[in-house]
Structure 1
Amino acid sequence: MAEPDPKDSPGAATQDDGGLQGLAAELTARVPQLLEGTRSVGTGLELRSTLDRICATAAELTHARYGAIGVVDEPGDSLSDFVTHGVPDEVAHAIGRPPDGRTGLLGALIRDPVPIRLNDLSADPRSAGFPRSHPRMRTFLGVPIRVRGDVFGNLYVAEKRCGAPFDDDDLHMLSVLATEAGIAIGHARTYEAARQRERWIDGSVAVTTALLSGGDAEDALTVVAEQARRLAGSAAGIVLLPAEEGGLEIVAGAGDQPSTSLGVIIPAHSPVVAALRRGEAVFVDDAATDPRVITRLADRFGPQMLLPLSSGGRVLGALSILRKRGERPFTESERTLATQFAAQAALALKVAETQRDRERLAVYEDRDRIARDLHDLVIQRLFATGMMLERAQRRSAVPGVQAGVGRAVDELDVTIQEIRTAIFALQQEPAEAPSGLRTRVLREINMAAVPLGFKPTHRFLGPVDSLVGELTGKNLIAALREALSNVFRHARASHVEVSVDATAVLPDGRDAVRLCVADDGVGIPDSGRRSGLRNLARRAESLGGASRYGPGEEGAGTTVVWEAPL
């Protein structure tokens, strides 16, 4: 007699029913968690915080020790961002550079965006292995993040806490989460793109204000370079104008060492110059290896944008924006925004040039009018007065009167000669004197009012224009620009005060100028980048001065003090 099949026994049926009921109960318990997770993912528009929430929610829902999300770049062949959850900061630092998604299992997910579930990650032939210090991972689950057919990235979890492999329920929940994550990333990208466009527009307004303020042309071009560098998040911004020998000369720059490249001429036979002269933009992924770039200046840089400053079919110059070697190339949207910025800057250059020509013409006309009045009226009257005095001299019989009248006639002759010399000088082209330091400080304050939404207050102590030397003045303006940039990027302030004190004294007794920028914002966080503040310190130290920062009065806001010898 055959033994009964265990599957047909009542006890077995009860056991299976209990297993199904347990699974259903687990799913029912996890549905609110899933809904809460998707809601938390959908909140917020800052892309980085959105990615952090996605990773944490994915790991929590699947009971995974580690979670990660890779965001695909615009070309769709590598990762532009990689965010992890569960990996300690010191371990991430020891691992080094995050994966770029060009090789290995992550690269396979990008090339073929379908779900992947592995019980042993190391046994898969697509796995490229882990770098040193990487946490041990065995089980793996990855799903693509899609929105309307477009792949935004991939969502990964690894090393399930209970030691079991990821199951269909984990895959289903991760897929649902990936759908919500795709929507959140899409919203965040749209928001970031809008903010980026707004920043570039504000930068264009600042450049236009600088160029049309009637100040020093060199300072205005430096503003163009600085705004382009800041908006593109690059290492350097450079403005080039046509050189007499036919190439392009670097006339203004912004970066760590902008002065070292001033005066460098890119020769006319350079393919880059030829393209720029035709009004064509040139985009380079690696300036050090691209054969079109023939200057040694590019050896220190990687990705580069070279944009013509053209308006009305006329190329006025070029704008170069460079990133450091090894950094990511400029995206398509960044190229588009930078090209529009260059076109706006070129238009502002042309309008400023026309405005300066108009102002110069008005000066010429006024000087010509003054010269005519001096010649036709003043000199003629003086000449007539001299003739009357000579007649009176001849008629007088008093020797003292004759001598006194003679001296008066001689003085009139000298005066007529001096006026004729002044008339000759008025007919010459006026020398263009550079703007004083006070004017340049006020120009920076007016430009900062655009992104801040209000105008900073200002205060001057001592004869700033006459005491502060040219080199110190240029560095002070650059320091002021950097300090104001930090305020409107980070401080969220409602009031800013700028003071320039030309009567300050350094600890060693040397006379100095002191720049102080104080705001009522949120203050400087304990952690974060300090590159702008380090730039301020380097500028001051190169002149024998110093720079410091800290909380403002009563511990609120931030005060930055920059000082250097006169």
Structure 2
Amino acid sequence: MPPDSQPGQDRTGLLPQLRLDDLLAELQTRLVAVLTTRDRVHALLEAVVTIEADLDLDSVLRRIVEASATLVEAQSGALRVLPEEDGYGRLVTVGGFGDEPPPRDCLEVPVCVREQAFGTLYLADKAGGGGFDENDENVVAALAIAAGVAIENARLYDEVRRRERWLTASAEVSASLLSGTDPYEELVLVAERARQICDAETSGVLLVDGDEFVLEAAAGLHADIVRGRRYRIDQVIAGRVYRSGRSLETADAAEEFRQAGVSLPIPVGPALIVPLGSAGTARGVLAVSNPPGGATFGEPARRLLEAFAAQAAVALELADRRQDTERLALLEARGRIAKDLHDTVIQQLFATAITLMSAIKISEKRDVAVRVRRAVDDLDDTIRQIRSTIFALQVMPGEHGLRARIQHVIDKAAESLGFAPETRLDGPLDLAVGDEVAVQVPAVLAEALSNVARHARAGRVSVTVSAGDELVVRVIDDGIGFRQGGRRSGLRNMAERAERLGGSFRIRPGESGGTVLEWRVPVHGPERDGG
């Protein structure tokens, strides 16, 4: 056989000692690598499109973790966001990653936004039990670059939405406060718009009342539970904000309250508190919060809430000034009405009473004289009622004056008596009575009516409170009368109150049965020595 025809000899010299099967196997391997690379490129492009499809930051973060896990066939993954970035200091997970530290063999890839670290992407539990290779790291790193762009877009979109809500809320609150809306509804609107601006679960307006905060209005989760609660200013973190005029953010408000020894009725996590006004003139604070484990708020939310609170504080102040102006106008109108009643109506009634009194003297029939005298008495009673109305017109409705407090005591006593006492309030109770006396009157009246309800077995009670040179409280009942030797602690208290104020107290039987209680003190209280 010729040398050039021997089996296995490569005549061309191009494939020395390489079998055809090996060549085909190598070609197949390279084709598979090319196809795998093509598929990964397609998958990468699809992942980029997926994470760019939504501008909500929460959705974008979750899509990044899901797309990364799909690319490298990881069964679990997580994106740990740095806490100083936009307030999203938390862990976004898929699969069975959980909150525990990442395993040693996981793939870690940093995620950056504008060359600044935003967080770290962790991928673990590769399908088939193998480890992650260099190609896996490269493809996830490529996705992380696209993720940074998506995160930045989502943050910008979130900022635009926040500013839109801020502009809308500011305009709405200002218009509401200056249009005469009910004060409570105004505060509820402020709380609700603050909650929306910050994407918070709960919000509240805390106004200062003496040395306490009162949570006047709340919105969102658990609003009904916390509304109306009181906290000492020096016990809660909101007090630091109120006194300093500087905002405060905390990742765990519940811990701050625990350290101060204050219990909360609801679970609270991250919180942001801003002042309603500047230091020294603030009306209170505006607070937003999320449940434990919820998102913190960050710098953008703080800036917007500060601007909103400052504008709301100005609008609240302007609303107060408008209400003061309306009160003044109403008092002036009432003053004119009172003057007309005093100068015209009362004088005419008084003249009519004098005419009738003169008619009594010339009347020849006794029954006519009796009727005329009764008419005169009715006119005197009408004059007293008109004078009482004049004094009442000089006080704004809803204000907590002495008249209102007396009426509250009488209304409450009606429940235990089983009927409403007859009431007469005479004189300038809200204007002439000194503060020291005004504080004692409701307590004395409540004690007197309580005694009637417990001991008198009365079917009728009349209450008269009059203010002239003296303030007189008189309670008359038609009960079984005053019994000597009974418990006198309540009566002793009333007597001591009158004595401290330079007045007197006595209790006696009524002319036709029952009991007459009379408590009498100087209208301005006891005289003080100037020295």
Quick one: which amino acid aligns to residue 82 of structure 2? D
Quick one: which amino acid aligns to residue 175 of structure 1? A
| 3-state SS, counterpart of residue 431 of structure 1 | coil
User: How far 1:315 moved relative to its partner?
Assistant: 1.4
User: How far 1:58 moved relative to its partner?
Assistant: 3.0
Query: Contact 2:88/2:297 (CA < 8 Å) preserved in 1?
Result: no
Query: Contact 2:338/2:390 (CA < 8 Å) preserved in 1?
Result: yes
Paired residue for 2:82, among 55, 73, 88?
73
Quick one: which amino acid aligns to residue 296 of structure 1? V
| 3-state SS, counterpart of residue 319 of structure 1 | strand
Query: Contact 1:58/1:67 (CA < 8 Å) preserved in 2?
Result: no
| 3-state SS, counterpart of residue 143 of structure 1 | strand
Query: Contact 1:238/1:250 (CA < 8 Å) preserved in 2?
Result: no
Give the number of the structure whose alpha-carbon radius of gyration is greater.
Answer: 2
**Partner residue of 2:157?**
191
**What do residues 108-146 of structure 1 show as CA deviations (whole Å, max 9, x unaligned)?**
xxxxxxxxxxxxxx6xxxx3xxxxxxxxxx5x4443333
1:143 aligns with 2:152: no
Paired residue for 1:374, among 341, 356, 368?
341
User: How far 1:256 moved relative to its partner?
Assistant: 6.8
User: How far 1:230 moved relative to its partner?
Assistant: 7.0
User: How far 1:74 moved relative to its partner?
Assistant: 4.9
**Partner residue of 1:284?**
250
Query: Contact 1:307/1:320 (CA < 8 Å) preserved in 2?
Result: yes
* 302-311 or 11-20: bigger deviation: 11-20
User: How far 1:188 moved relative to its partner?
Assistant: 2.2
**Partner residue of 1:513?**
none
Quick one: which amino acid aligns to residue 61 of structure 1? L
Identical-residue share of aligned pairs (%): 35
Change (3 A) 1:365 1:281: same
Distance 1:304 1:285 in 2: 6
Change (3 A) 1:208 1:172: same
**Partner residue of 2:381?**
414
| Structure 2 counterparts to residues 144-223 of structure 1, below 5 A | 144-161=110-127, 165-199=131-165, 217=183, 221=187
Distance 2:388 2:249 in 1: 56
| 3-state SS, counterpart of residue 345 of structure 1 | helix
1:38 aligns with 2:48: yes
User: How far 1:426 moved relative to its partner?
Assistant: 1.5
Distance 2:291 2:84 in 1: 21
Query: Contact 2:108/2:121 (CA < 8 Å) preserved in 1?
Result: yes
**Partner residue of 1:319?**
286
**Partner residue of 1:308?**
275
Change (3 A) 1:7 1:220: farther
1:423 aligns with 2:382: no
Quick one: which amino acid aligns to residue 115 of structure 2? G
User: How far 1:42 moved relative to its partner?
Assistant: 1.6
Query: Contact 2:243/2:280 (CA < 8 Å) preserved in 1?
Result: no
| 3-state SS, counterpart of residue 284 of structure 2 | strand
| 3-state SS, counterpart of residue 264 of structure 1 | strand
Distance 2:70 2:237 in 1: 55
Query: Contact 2:110/2:117 (CA < 8 Å) preserved in 1?
Result: yes
Change (3 A) 1:264 1:37: closer
| 3-state SS, counterpart of residue 315 of structure 1 | coil
Query: Contact 2:271/2:290 (CA < 8 Å) preserved in 1?
Result: yes
Query: Contact 1:286/1:302 (CA < 8 Å) preserved in 2?
Result: yes
Distance 1:364 1:181 in 2: 66
Quick one: which amino acid aligns to residue 372 of structure 1? K
Distance 1:278 1:168 in 2: 54
1:357 aligns with 2:324: yes
Is there any run of 5+ residues in structure 2 with no aligned partner, and where?
1-9, 401-531
User: How far 1:59 moved relative to its partner?
Assistant: 3.6
**What do residues 84-113 of structure 1 show as CA deviations (whole Å, max 9, x unaligned)?**
44x2xxxx4xx7x525xxxx66xxxxxxxx
Change (3 A) 1:295 1:272: farther
| 3-state SS, counterpart of residue 214 of structure 2 | strand
Distance 1:166 1:424 in 2: 89
| 3-state SS, counterpart of residue 43 of structure 1 | coil
Q: State the TM-score, normalizing by the size of structure 2.
A: 0.57
**Partner residue of 1:437?**
none
Is there any run of 5+ residues in structure 1 with no aligned partner, and where?
106-121, 128-137, 434-566
Distance 1:203 1:31 in 2: 46
User: How far 1:30 moved relative to its partner?
Assistant: 4.4
Quick one: which amino acid aligns to residue 75 of structure 2? Y
**What do residues 238-294 of structure 1 show as CA deviations (whole Å, max 9, x unaligned)?**
5443343xx3333436437745982332349x8863652242223334446559963
| Structure 2 counterparts to residues 233-272 of structure 1, below 5 A | 237-244=203-210, 247-252=211-216, 254=218, 255=222, 258=225, 262-267=229-234
**What do residues 171-216 of structure 1 show as CA deviations (whole Å, max 9, x unaligned)?**
4433332222222222222333333444555665676677567576
**Partner residue of 1:348?**
315
User: How far 1:369 moved relative to its partner?
Assistant: 1.3
**Partner residue of 2:99?**
98
| 3-state SS, counterpart of residue 283 of structure 2 | strand
| 3-state SS, counterpart of residue 80 of structure 1 | coil
* 287-296 or 177-186: bigger deviation: 287-296
Quick one: which amino acid aligns to residue 208 of structure 2? P
Change (3 A) 1:21 1:305: closer
Distance 1:302 1:325 in 2: 4
| Structure 2 counterparts to residues 83-94 of structure 1, below 5 A | 83-85=92-94, 87=95, 92=96
Query: Contact 1:271/1:292 (CA < 8 Å) preserved in 2?
Result: no
Distance 2:300 2:241 in 1: 21
| 3-state SS, counterpart of residue 314 of structure 1 | coil
| Structure 2 counterparts to residues 411-560 of structure 1, below 5 A | 411-432=378-399
User: How far 1:43 moved relative to its partner?
Assistant: 1.1
User: How far 1:392 moved relative to its partner?
Assistant: 7.3
Change (3 A) 1:257 1:431: closer
| 3-state SS, counterpart of residue 280 of structure 1 | coil
Distance 2:208 2:88 in 1: 39
Count of residue pairs brought into register by the alignment: 383
Distance 2:341 2:246 in 1: 53
Quick one: which amino acid aligns to residue 428 of structure 1? V
| 3-state SS, counterpart of residue 98 of structure 1 | coil
**What do residues 425-472 of structure 1 show as CA deviations (whole Å, max 9, x unaligned)?**
212343349xxxxxxxxxxxxxxxxxxxxxxxxxxxxxxxxxxxxxxx
Query: Contact 2:65/2:78 (CA < 8 Å) preserved in 1?
Result: yes
Quick one: which amino acid aligns to residue 248 of structure 1? E
